[in-house]
Amino acid sequence: SPAVRSERKVQSEYKLGDTGIDLEKDMIVGIPIFAIHRAPKYYPNPEKFDPARFSAKEIAKRDSYVYLHFGHGPRNCVGMRFALLEAKVCLVYIISCFNTKPCDKTPIPMKFAHNSLGILQPKDVFLASEI
């Protein structure tokens, strides 16, 4: 289940800019992840399912600490890579239940994008699917 809160122990005294807030050494600071992810200040209509809010354009508008899906920094979630792999495996399983075939927009012959890693990356792939 997703974490609703994260905690960090203050390593040395720290002043939060000109806020008047002083953090003392060994103090525990809580980060309310659940509340941040539902703040209308960062996410208009936060309870609405809106995949567009995770587009590259929208992500670029936000501070990187506003979406803490696996925490952030050197002490982020140890299970992050496993969870992402598990999601990909589930997606592949779901897609395998469909029959895919070329459609009118499918480029034939297929074109590939060039990248520096030497990996073939299909360009503009369009497919039709059937259950």
The answer on whether 97 is annotated among ligand-binding residues is no
Q: Please state, in angstroms and rounded to a whole number, the distance separating the CA atoms of residues 70 and 20.
A: 30
Q: Which among 10, 34, 32, 8 has a CA at the least distance from the CA of 23?
A: 10
CB 130 within 8 A of CB 99: yes
Annotated binding-site members: 77
Annotated binding-site members for heme: 77
